[in-house]
Structure 1
Amino acid sequence: MNNLFDDLPAALDDEVFEVLARDDHVTIERIVSRGQASPAGGGWYDQAHDEWILVLKGEARLAFERGDEVPLGPGDHLVIPAHRRHRVAWTTPDTETVWLAVHY
Structure 2
Amino acid sequence: MIPINNLYTSLEPNENSEVFTTLFQNNSLKIESIRSWLKTPGELYNQEKDEWVLLLVGEARMTLKDIEVNLQAGDYCFIPRHTPHRVLSTSKDALWLGVFSS
User: Under a length normalisation based on structure 2, what TM-score does the superposition of the two structures give?
Assistant: 0.85
User: Which structure is higher in strand share?
Assistant: 2
The aligned counterpart of 1:46 is 46
Which position in structure 2 is the counterpart of 1:101? 98
Unmatched runs of 5 consecutive residues or more in structure 1: none
RMSD: 1.6
Q: CA 1:17/1:36 → structure 2, altered by over 3 Å: closer, same or farther? A: farther
- Distance in 1, matches of 2:72 and 2:79, equals 16
Segments ≥4 residues shifted beyond 2 Å = 35-39
User: Among the aligned pairs, what percent are the same residue?
Assistant: 39
Which of 16, 21, 34 is the equivalent residue of 2:19?
16
Note closer, same or farther for the CA distance 1:7–1:83 as it changes in structure 2 (3 Å cut).
closer
Q: How many residue pairs end up in the alignment?
A: 97
1:14-48 CA distance string (max 9 Å, x none): 21000000001000000001125435xxx321111
Report the secondary structure of 1:5's partner residue: helix
